[in-house]
Amino acid sequence: MDAAWLALGGVALSAFLSATLLPGNSELALSAFLYRWPDWLWPALLLATLANSAGSATSLWLGSRVPPKILSPRLQRWFDRFGPAVLSLAWVPFIGDALPLAAGWLRLPKLSCLLWLTVGKAARYAVLAWGVLFWRPH
């Protein structure tokens, strides 16, 4: 099997794990992959985005399994103000993993949540890929 395909599988696994409470570093995996195989930009971006979004969807589902409870007033205001759009920040370190859990817990509309978190993750990976390819020696 071609090394690029194996590496792409590693990117997908890292992206999925990075979106859960488990450790992972999808940015490093995607950057290394694109540095080595820049011609695979679009498949790598698509796969990393889908896998990372699937990890967050898992957290969203897990949050919906928890009995509803009152959130802290600050977090509740944030979700009330921005609704599912807050999930566009699900990629942010430290708080990002908790956002889909909280959205599931609050029973926010799943389809809107999935759309917003995917948009945010795709934008983050696109900026990262641009940086890798822009600074990569030609």
| Per-residue model confidence as pLDDT tens digits over 80-116 | 888 999 999 999 887 888 899 989 998 999 999 999 9
Of 42-46, 66-70, 104-108, 121-125, the least confident: 66-70
The pLDDT, as a whole number, for residue 123 is: 96
The pLDDT, as a whole number, for residue 74 is: 83
Model confidence at 58, in pLDDT bands (50, 70, 90)?
very high
119 pLDDT exceeds 80? yes
The pLDDT, as a whole number, for residue 1 is: 59
Tokens of 119: 């948009």
CA distance 36 to 34: 5
Mean pLDDT estimate for the chain: 91
CA distance 87 to 113: 6
Contact 56, 90 (CB under 8 A): yes
- The pTM is what? 0.89
